[in-house]
Amino acid sequence: MTRSAYVALVTCFNDDETLNFAATRAQVRRQVAAGNNIMCAGTNGDFTALTHGERLHLLEEMVDEVAGRVKVIFNAGCPATFETLQFARACDAIGVDGIAVVTPYFIACTQDGLVRHFSTVADAVQTPVYLYDIPARTQNHIEPATARLLAEHPNIAGIKDSGGTTETVLEYLKVAEEVGGFEVYCAPDHLVHWGLQQGCAGVISGLGNVAPQILAAILSGFNSGDTAAAEAAQEVFAALRKDIYGLGYPPAMVKRALYTMDPSVGLSRQPALMPDPDQDAALAAILKTHRLT
């Protein structure tokens, strides 16, 4: 199986915090040129700062720019199943390759509640649905037994694991072994090559916004059987991750690092990270060290 890389693309903003679609399209083209697929409205896309209409408009712009050259997955997840269904049905109409559904946030869910949430969405659409587990941000975790139950659903195609632990990845991979067609996407950037070696279908990366070619090199090396090339690219990617993420909240650091490279991406909506001269200087030095500027 050929493994795939998706980048959880940043959302670009103008100075007045309105969406900058021209800059966002430029970022899409940059990822397409590297051979990476796109995740729209993920954590690195500031989806929680977007209105319902803005998320759909953003998806339409991305799908139009991609024009079928790579795959597009849209994060339709909301705290309530009701609104998640609205997004998911819109995805069917717009046309995407997959619908990621992040676990509800703010609302504390039982495992039964999660099963009902994901099953209801998967029942309502034709587009394949991917579970999206990021417990550090949502405070709700898809237990492996729950993933096993949901994997039996004919329209649930896999899971994006952003939990950050190797143990959970391996548990989800056991589910994939037992249920044919269930794909596991390992999100932590320091585990890309490891995840591929364990059997993951690919990766959905935030750091790929900063270094799309390095991410693509890990995948191309693995897919071609060039383990040395994949490992070398992973070492570079992991070192970049350590340096950038060591400065603060990862999505904010990714956006700010990318801003340092290309100011057209803009700042994130408040109350997100504000510019800090010392932090910017540190990011600039990191990017120079890794030959990204």
Q: Which residues are annotated as catalytic?
A: 132, 160
**CA distance linking residue 182 with residue 150, whole number of Å:** 10
**CA distance linking residue 251 with residue 267, whole number of Å:** 12
How far is residue 120 from each of residues 43, 63, 197, measured CA to CA in Å? 23, 25, 33
**Could you tell me the two tokens for 148?**
């096993």
- How does 10-46 read in b/e, with b if 16+ C-beta sit within 10 Å? bbbbeeeeebbbebbbebbebbbebbbbbbbbbbbbb
The H-assigned helical ranges of 81-163 are: 81-94, 111-124, 135-138, 144-151
Distance between start and end Cα atoms, the chain: 34
The closest of 207, 203, 201 to 187, measured between CA atoms, is 203
* Residue 236 burial (CB count, 10 A): 15
Residue 82 makes CB contacts below 8 A (sequence gap 6+) with none
Residue 68 makes CB contacts below 8 A (sequence gap 6+) with none
Q: Are 165 and 152 in contact (CB under 8 A)?
A: no
